[in-house]
Each structure stands twice: as C-alpha cells, then as structure tokens.
Chains A and B, each alone.
Chain A
Amino acid sequence: MRTSTGIRLLQSQSSFSRSMPLTHNVRRSTRFLPRYYSTHPPQAKLNTPIDYSTTPILCHSTSSALSNHELPPDIRAGTTKRMNLFQSINDALSLALQRDENALLFGEDVAFGGVFRCSMGLAEQFGSERVFNTPLSEQGIIGFAIGAAAEGMKAIAEIQFADYVYPAFDQLVNEAAKWRYRDGENGRGLGGLTVRMPCGAVGHGALYHSQSPESLFTHIPGLRVIMPRSPIQAKGLLLSAIQSPDPCIFMEPKALYRAAVEQVPLEHYTLPLSVAEIVKPGKDLTLVSYGHPMYTCQAALEAAERDLGVSIELIDLRTVYPWDKETVLQSVRKTGRCVIVHESMVNAGVGAEVAASIQGDQQTFLRLEAPVKRVAGWAIHMPLMFERFNVPDVARVYDAIKNSIEY
C-alpha cells in the first residue's frame, strides 16, 4: 500500500537524508527519492510497513495520552502536544535544563542541535556553558561526565551512536558503575550521570549505525539501562533517568525519532524506572519486548489474535536492567507461554536473561505450556543489504507465537 503517508513514513524512518547547508530556516526538502530496499513484498500480509499513524502503541489523541494511570493527576488534567520522539527528547532535555541549573548537556555536535536534532535550540536557550560540543572522543565525553557528576552536576552526555560507545566502555563499566560501591561510606554516588545514545536498526545503518548494545550494559551491576518505545515514554523515562540516584544508560531507538508521533503531555512528568508496563492485557501468551520491536510485536499479535483466536499479553520492559522480573513472571504464570523479542543478537541478549528467569522460577516453571521462545537478531553483524532479514519482523514474531500456541 503506497499511500502518500506510507511513502513519507518510509522516508522518515531513515535517519540520514541528503546533506543540506545549515541555515536558520531548514526548509523541508520536496525531493523524493524512492528507496527500493525499504519496500515490502507485494503479496505480504504480515511484513507490511508499520503504520505509525494507527498503531495502538502510540497515543494519537489527547484523551488517550492523558488516560495513562502512571501520570500524576495534575499532568492528566493538563495539555498535550503532538511530538515525534526526537521532539519529546528535546522537550525533556529542555525541562531538565530549566529545572536544575546544575544540569549540563554535551557531546559531539550537540550545540547546533545534534545530528538527530534532539538538542535543537537548547544551546541558544541555556547558553554555551551548559550546552556544548566536546572534542570527538567518547572516552573523554564519559570520563568528563563522570567527573562533573561526581562534583554535583547533572551531566547529560550524548554518545552520537550506540555503536561508538565502546571507547567509553571502560569509563562506564569500571568507573561509573562502580563509583558508589567503591566510595562506600563516603557516599558519593553518580546519580547525576545520564548517558544518551541513539541505537537500533534504521534501514541502512549497516555495521556501525545500527547496533543495540544494551545487553552488554545489563551485565554490569550499578548501571540502569533504559529503552523507551514512544515519545511519551521517552520523555517520562528520560526525566526519571536524569533524576535517578544511579547512573543511567538511556538508549533511543533512532528509527523512531521521526516515525513515532503521539500526543505528549507538555509539563514535567516522570515514569517509573525498573517497572515493566503491560501495554495490552491477554491470557494465552506473554509477548515481551522493548524499544522499536514493540511495534512489530503489536502487528504480529494483532495478526495472531485474528488468525488463531487467542489473547496475547504484550509487555514493554522499558528498563532492561535492573528489570521488572515480577511483572513478567506473573504474566507467564497466568499465560503459560512466552515469546521475547529484541533487535540485538540472540546470544546472551536480554531475552536470555528473561527466558532463564522464567525457567528458573519454581512457580513459573510449573506453569509453562511451551518452551520460551526468543525472536531476535541473528548472531551476526548488521549487514547493509540484508538488514530486513536480520531484524525480527512481523512474520518471525507471528511464527514464534503460532509455534508456542500450537506446541
């Protein structure tokens, strides 16, 4: 279905477009280049493009946005604005900088607005002392952020792509994560540290613009690892991460920066960390995911419920570590079946921890009706031309649901 909306959405899923000289008024390009590698097979029933304008994952109306029971009463009585994910991140950053004069925002190219526009207008609004570019050095950015946080600042550091976080891995693993533990009764923690990074597949990011290294960080005691699924979630979870007394790794699915648009409450609000959310209740199977694949899961469960006449519970982990084990276990005790979906590779991924926890829990083990199934990236690097066969698609999630139900 190539509606004009569909075309725009296909385009907007890309993170890169043609380069333009930067001016104060960036005009919308009217040039359209079809991207044949993003189209879907003509006969496809499952693997059709996600329609972000209708998916129930997003709140398309003010009333649905404000009916969220996790929001405080004053927010639920407030107003909303249509925002995509980068705009909601920008909004959250702006509120954080407003709220606390000790908040700093820095990284490569953040001053002019960031390569994904998340920091647009913030340097002008808050000054170049608080929103600034750093030299091109990830270990420097994170080391600097740790030091600033250790001396009482709220350091919001950006790593331009999650793929480039590895030079800072030592700083995150050996320093940030262990800071409070080794300082003991001196009591100096690194709650002021938040590290943002765009992650995930984007259609044509290949090896170094597609990675989701969250499971590497979930193996590190001391860090909180968060990945939102939508603009509302991104704003609330990012503001929580910034306030959290622990260092947080905040991963932003870059494919959603423009694609995911919903009504986002305007005021400052937070959403709880380490709490999973039952996005859709069900009774026959538990589908667990987080980040971008939540949309794939939603499409697959709609098809599966229609075709197989079952009821599926969809859970968004939101914080992948320390994660909300209890919500998932309770759901699986009820449904007896579980499918876990994530984009990063299957081996030792977040799904491994979830599956092992389900199997290892005495009560849940007894309730299992089928093997726990993981749908994830293959154990390969992200190949440019083969991305759509690597990222879990609707067909693979559907198939896993079907297998589990028919087991």
Chain B
Amino acid sequence: MNTQRIGGRLFRDARASGLFLRSRGCGRCMGRGYSSLSQKPGAAGVRFPGAVNSKFTSTLQFEHPSTYTAIPTYRAMSPEGDLIDPEFTPASDELALEMYVNMVKVSIMDVIMFDAQRQGRLSFYMPSQGEEGTCVGSASALEKDDVVFSQYREAGVFMQRGFTWEDFMSQLFANRKDPGKGRNMPVHYGSRELNIHTISSPLATQIPQASGAAYALKMQRLANPNIPPRVVACYFGEGAASEGDFHAALNIAATRSCPVIFICRNNGYAISTPTLEQYRGDGIASRGTGYGIDTIRVDGNDIWAVRAATQKARSLALTDGGRPVLLEAMSYRISHHSTSDDSFAYRARVEVEDWKRRDNPIVRLRKYLEKRGAWDEEKEKELRIKVRKEVLRAFADAEKEKKGSLKSMFEDVYAEMTPELRGQMEELRGVMERYPEEYDVGEFEGGVAGLRG
C-alpha cells in the first residue's frame, strides 16, 4: 500500500513550501509536483509562480483606484438617435423595428401587470422599465441555440427570443398552461424550447451555473465538431455581483476557459441600496480584468451599443476554444424594484422623472427610426393600442384558465415519486375528503381527485 500524502486543507498553506508548485495551465504537467519555472540568467528577479510577469521595483508604492481612469462607457448612438460610432453598422430597419416593438411590448406589459398586482389579481410582479434596451439588444445578438441564464428582470430577453403573451401570462397566473406547473412566483419564467433556464429567486446562483453550462457546450463541441459553436449568456444585476457566487463564477470561467458572456445590468439600485453602498471600485466592469477576463462597459440605454458589444463578446467568447467576457450595461431602474416596493421611500420622485424624460432606451431607438423615416406618431399610436389589446386579452384568458392538478405539488421533486411522497399525497387526499368544507379546490383541474394515482 502506498503511503498517503498529506490530505486536506489544513495543509493547504504547505503549497507555499514548494511541494505543490505547478506551472500555469495545469494538466500539461500532470503528476509532476515541481514547477518548470526557472530563473533565467539576467532576469529581473525570481519569477514567482503566482505572478510570472511582475517586475521588481525599488519604489514602495501602493496601487490606488484613483490611479486608473474609470472604464469608459461605449455608445454607438447619441440620445438624439444619431449614430456616433463610424465603425458601427446598424441592423436592418426590419430588425430595428422588431427590437423596437419588443421593447414597447415589455413596457406596456409592465404597466398593465403592475396595476393588476395592485388590484390583487396576481401575487407579485417585477417590471423592467429603463432596462428594455439591455435585454432586447443583447438577446438580438445571440443565436437561438445559445443558452441563457437570467436573474428576473429580463422580460426583454424572453420577448426577443420568442416568448408569447400566453407564455408570459400562464406563468404569471400560475395556471395549468404554465410549464412551471404553478410552483414558482410570478416572473420566474423558463423555456426549454428557447434555451432559457428557469429563473430562481436566490441571487447570483445562476452565474457559476452559466460557467459550468458554457464548459458543457465547449466539451460537446470538442466531441462533435458538427455542432454549431454556442455560448452561454448570463444576466445579473450589480447588487447580485456582490454575492460570492459572482466571484466563484468569473474565476472558474477564466481558469476553465468557458465560452460565457456575463451581462451585468447596472441600474444604480439593489432594492433601496444605491451603488455607493454596494461597492467602492469602478463598478462591476473593473473587476473583470482582475479575473483575466475581456471586459466592456456600455450604455444600456443605447440598444445599438448593447447589441454591438454582445455580438463582439460572442465572437470573443468563441475564440481559442472559448473564454469568458464581461459586459456591464449602465442604466437606471425607472420602476420600483417590484410590486412589494415603494421606491419613493429611498429616492426622490424627481430623480426618477428626470431619468424617464432625459434618456431611456425606447425613446432613443424611436428617434433613430423616425430619422430614418421608418416610424411616426401614427404607427406609434397603432402599436400601443394593438399591444394593449393583446396583453389584456391574454391576461383575461390566463386569469380564467384553471390551475393545474393538485398532484403536481408532489411531482418532479424526484424523477419518480418516492413511496414517501405517494404516502403523503394519499394522506392529504384523505384529509381533504374527510373535511371537504375546509378546502377550496374548485379552481384546480380534477379537484381532490387530482391527488390520485
């Protein structure tokens, strides 16, 4: 039997003793305990394995954030709707119109559903006013096979990828047509068909998952070069970027060279917390390079900037077999955080109004389209009336629809229902049958009988 080497974290510091040195790019020197780094004659000093390109200096000086200028914000189009990047080629007017319509659709749905929640007709809602451009613009630059992980304020991504009114409404009303089987809170959308993983409430958990999913896509393409190259796009807010999962995700994506685009929606607030209380560095973008990741900051109210940056990010992410890219989209959260939040408790109404008026992604693209003669007041009016009607019709249909079978409470916990769960389902049915006056099951498909089988 072999003697066992030290096991464990207690001894992790022993790595510094030289027993564990490994050259960069582990795997190439598999099974070798010693680093191949050696001191070259005339070198500027010992090459520490932890930072091989660092030169020595005899000046004692700390790096300070103020030494660096803030990462600039890329714009392709001015707030007046004029193209200002000479290198930038906009999409066809047809696609521009489609993107415009999708932004308007999301904004109208937001207003209607927000009010519906206020009337008690659904339990919860989260609007995304001010961020339609980030979502629609980035989604327009993805291929339909690209996998998406989102946080919860990305209705524009779902809209651009092909989510229908019925898809939105079934989920919001948790009725029998909701693929989530009525288990999730409203706005926790998901779609296998559209390659978007179902949204979960815990913040930032999806970010390392996106890294792992990207690694899977990369491996699958290695195994089968006939699969078209795919990337993962992962959305999150600047508040979520404070979670440990953000750190874990960017670091592992970099070390494993994963084709993933991290898209941060920096809208200035995490519920009531302003960015000044969220971080003290230069936003989220400044962190990217620290992980060794290509990074860009864009104007989130400029749908062309978002689209162009995402297109470029996608091709970068597929370079050399894959690598991560970080994109920070700057915007302002015009709406309340959710229906459970009154944002005027922590920010001035005038500030919000100012942002609404001064700059928002929908108005900016509208100006662009009008200048090209592709849009006018008449079309605008028509569109808004049509969309409102569509939403209200889908709303009414979804509200009337029955809820799913009670059985789905117990299904999908495991791939197959366990004996324990069957027993519990029986137990619940027994109580409901013995005390029918205590339970209101009318709205559920099949009523109590749904708990059979």
A326 at the interface (CB under 8 A from B): yes
Q: Are B212 and A181 in contact (CB under 8 A)?
A: no
Q: Are B184 and A182 in contact (CB under 8 A)?
A: yes
The answer to whether A185 and B181 touch (CB under 8 A), given A23-B33, A116-B7, A221-B413, is yes
The answer to whether A144 and B415 touch (CB under 8 A), given A128-B28, A184-B183, is no
Q: Which residues of B contact A326 (CB under 8 A)?
A: 419
Interface residues of B in 198-224 (CB under 8 A from A): 198, 200, 202, 205, 207-217, 219-220, 222-223
Identify which of A147, A208, A254 contacts B208 (C-beta below 8 A): A147
Tell me which of B43-51, B91-99, B189-197, B304-312 binds A. Answer: B189-197
Tell me which of A12-20, A36-44, A365-373 binds B. Answer: A12-20
A124 at the interface (CB under 8 A from B): yes
Q: Are A117 and B412 in contact (CB under 8 A)?
A: no
B179 at the interface (CB under 8 A from A): yes
A282 at the interface (CB under 8 A from B): no
A sample of 10 cross-chain residue pairs with beta-carbon separation below 8 angstroms, ordered by A number, consists of: A22-B32, A104-B219, A136-B12, A139-B244, A151-B217, A170-B205, A185-B179, A245-B414, A322-B420, A326-B419
Tell me which of A172-180, A263-271, A285-293, A304-312 binds B. Answer: A172-180
Q: Are A222 and B212 in contact (CB under 8 A)?
A: no
A146 at the interface (CB under 8 A from B): yes
Q: Which residues of B contact A117 (CB under 8 A)?
A: 2, 4
Q: Which residues of A contact B416 (CB under 8 A)?
A: 245
The answer to whether A19 and B14 touch (CB under 8 A), given A115-B8, A129-B219, A183-B180, is yes
Distance between B177 CB and nearest chain A CB, rounded to angstroms: 9
Q: State in angstroms the CA–CA spacing of A19 and B244 once bound together.
A: 32
Q: Are A143 and B413 in contact (CB under 8 A)?
A: no
Distance between B92 CB and nearest chain A CB, rounded to angstroms: 32
Q: Are B248 and A140 in contact (CB under 8 A)?
A: yes
The answer to whether A171 and B205 touch (CB under 8 A), given A29-B3, A117-B4, A246-B415, is yes
Tell me which of B123-131, B250-258, B273-281 binds A. Answer: B250-258
Q: Are A151 and B147 in contact (CB under 8 A)?
A: yes
B84 at the interface (CB under 8 A from A): no
B348 at the interface (CB under 8 A from A): no
B31 at the interface (CB under 8 A from A): yes
Q: Are B414 and A222 in contact (CB under 8 A)?
A: yes
The answer to whether A153 and B219 touch (CB under 8 A), given A27-B3, A117-B4, A144-B252, is yes
Q: Which residues of B contact A141 (CB under 8 A)?
A: 252
Q: Are A186 and B184 in contact (CB under 8 A)?
A: no
Q: Which residues of B contact A12 (CB under 8 A)?
A: 1
A96 at the interface (CB under 8 A from B): no
Please, how many residues of chain A have a CB less than 8 angstroms from a CB on the other chain?
87
Q: Which residues of B contact A123 (CB under 8 A)?
A: 27, 30-31
B297 at the interface (CB under 8 A from A): no
- Between A134, A150, A155, A187, the greatest number of chain B beta carbons within 10 A of the residue's beta carbon is seen for A150
Nearest residue, chain B, Cβ from A161? B8
- Between A20, A148, A151, A189, the greatest number of chain B beta carbons within 10 A of the residue's beta carbon is seen for A151
Q: Are A137 and B247 in contact (CB under 8 A)?
A: yes
Distance between B377 CB and nearest chain A CB, rounded to angstroms: 41
Identify which of B209, B412, B419 contacts A181 (C-beta below 8 A): B412
Q: Are A150 and B213 in contact (CB under 8 A)?
A: yes
Q: Which residues of A contact B219 (CB under 8 A)?
A: 102, 104, 129-130, 153
Q: State in angstroms the CA–CA spacing of A127 and B215 once bound together.
A: 15
Nearest residue, chain B, Cβ from A257? B4
Nearest residue, chain A, Cβ from B224? A101
Q: Are A15 and B4 in contact (CB under 8 A)?
A: yes
What string of 1s and 0s marks CB contacts (under 8 Å) between A24-51 and chain B? 1011110000000000000000000000
A331 at the interface (CB under 8 A from B): no
Q: Are B3 and A28 in contact (CB under 8 A)?
A: yes
Nearest residue, chain B, Cβ from A30? B3
Tell me the B residues contacting A by CB distance below 8 Å.
Answer: 1-12, 14, 19-20, 26-28, 30-33, 147, 149, 178-181, 183-184, 188, 190-192, 197-198, 200, 202, 205, 207-217, 219-220, 222-223, 232, 244-245, 247-249, 251-252, 255-256, 408, 412-416, 418-420
Besides A128-B26, A135-B252, A143-B207, 13 more A-B contacts (Cβ < 8 Å) are: A28-B3, A116-B7, A135-B255, A137-B248, A139-B244, A143-B209, A147-B232, A152-B216, A171-B245, A182-B190, A183-B197, A186-B180, A189-B415
Q: Which residues of A contact B28 (CB under 8 A)?
A: 128
Tell me the A residues contacting B by CB distance below 8 Å.
Answer: 12, 14-24, 26-29, 84, 101-102, 104, 111-113, 115-117, 123-124, 127-130, 132-137, 139-153, 155, 160-161, 164, 167, 170-171, 174-175, 178, 180-189, 191, 208-209, 221-222, 224, 245-246, 254, 258, 274, 322, 325-326
Q: Which residues of B contact A254 (CB under 8 A)?
A: 7
Q: Are A143 and B31 in contact (CB under 8 A)?
A: no
Which 7 residue pairs of A and B lie closest in terms of their CB atoms, listed nearest first? Answer: A128-B27, A143-B208, A147-B212, A140-B248, A22-B33, A147-B209, A245-B415
Q: Which residues of A contact B184 (CB under 8 A)?
A: 182
Q: Are B3 and A26 in contact (CB under 8 A)?
A: yes
Q: Which residues of A contact B6 (CB under 8 A)?
A: 16-19, 115
Nearest residue, chain B, Cβ from A146? B209
Q: Which residues of B contact A127 (CB under 8 A)?
A: 27
Q: Which residues of A contact B2 (CB under 8 A)?
A: 26, 28, 117
